[in-house]
Amino acid sequence: FASNPGRAGMEPFDLQRMLFAWMKSSQPQMSPDSGDGREGTAVSRNASSHRIKEVVGSQGCGLLWAIGEVLHGESSFRDLDSHGQFALFCVRLLRAAARAKSEMKMLKERSQATLKVSLPGSFHMKRTISTPDKIETEPSIASAGCIAALVSNSQAAIIDACRANGKRLDWETTKRNRLPLWIRSEDLLRKIAEEVGQSIYKTHRNIMECALFFIAAGNMHLLRNLAATDQSASCWNM
């Protein structure tokens, strides 16, 4: 994403311009045989849609949509070094892909609910098919993004981008972005561990759920203060 000093005239966001150029070139063209062009446009649009689905599939279409959403929105890529730009792109791509997946799941559930509406006088046969349980793993940032963040000098800005709307980091966000794997500063790691512990305690109000993070942060004073206000049975057992 960053400009290459070895190539004169090279500017940042070449990938963005290439993506927009590709999107522009893939726009449906009007057929010369059609009268006003509407029929030819519709045919070309359907052909392009089927071709994209055949090449990349539904998951690939969702990924392309997420890439376009990340590149189209306002960003602070120019304030980072080249490695930080790539790492920040991976962070935002993961967030956009998760949002697109959630929206697709909601649309699928709505369509299934619409099909389940029974007409008057109709009946349904319910057939149960036993299938092995699928273990769905939580998506995480790409390994290349972790390596780029590891060697980047803009780690603080990348961590700020991992926060959702400026909120505290929670354990899911920390695990999804693999923060402990690429943060070099031990002080920053302790700060994040304390931040995650505070987020967990705010959600569950149980000191046993977050004690490990405060111990990792080395903040035993805060751990004792929170334990003194915790009235749960697990705290008394501890």
Amino acid identity of residue 115, one-letter, is L
The packing angle between helices 207-217 and 220-229, to 10°, is 170
230 occurs within a structural domain = yes
Question: Alpha carbon 229 to chain centroid distance?
Answer: 36
Average pLDDT value for residue range 225-236: 72
pLDDT, residue 151, reads 95
pLDDT, residue 187, reads 93
96 occurs within a structural domain = no
* pLDDT tens digit sequence for 28-63: 554 445 455 555 555 555 555 555 555 455 566 666
Note the helical H segments in the chain.
Answer: 14-25, 38-72, 82-115, 143-151, 155-162, 171-176, 179-182, 186-204, 207-217, 220-229, 233-237
Tokens of 69: 């959403």
**Is 34 buried (19+), middle (13-18) or exposed (0-12) by CB count in 10 A?**
middle
74 occurs within a structural domain = no
193 occurs within a structural domain = yes
211 occurs within a structural domain = yes
Task: Using a pLDDT cut of 70, give the percent of the chain over it.
Answer: 55
Give the confidence band of 152 by pLDDT, cuts at 50, 70, 90.
very high
* C-alpha span between 99 and 77 (Å, rounded): 21
Average pLDDT value for residue range 99-114: 75
Domain count within the chain: 1
Q: Which of 22, 151, 21, 7 is nearest to 86 (CA)?
A: 151
pLDDT, residue 30, reads 47
With beta carbons less than 8 A apart as the criterion, state whether 217 and 226 touch: no
Considering only 33-37, 98-102, 139-143, 171-175, which range has the smallest mean pLDDT? 33-37
Q: What pTM does this model have?
A: 0.60
42 occurs within a structural domain = no
Considering only 11-25, 57-71, 85-99, 135-149, which range has the smallest mean pLDDT? 11-25
235 occurs within a structural domain = yes
* C-alpha span between 59 and 210 (Å, rounded): 36
pLDDT at 112 over 50: yes
8 occurs within a structural domain = no
Tokens of 108: 């699928």
**Is 174 buried (19+), middle (13-18) or exposed (0-12) by CB count in 10 A?**
buried
pLDDT, residue 171, reads 92
**Is 142 buried (19+), middle (13-18) or exposed (0-12) by CB count in 10 A?**
middle
Mean pLDDT score of the chain? 72
The packing angle between helices 38-72 and 82-115, to 10°, is 130
For 225, the domain range is: 185-238
Amino acid identity of residue 229, one-letter, is T
Within 8 A by CB and 6+ apart from 86, the residues are: 1, 144, 145, 148
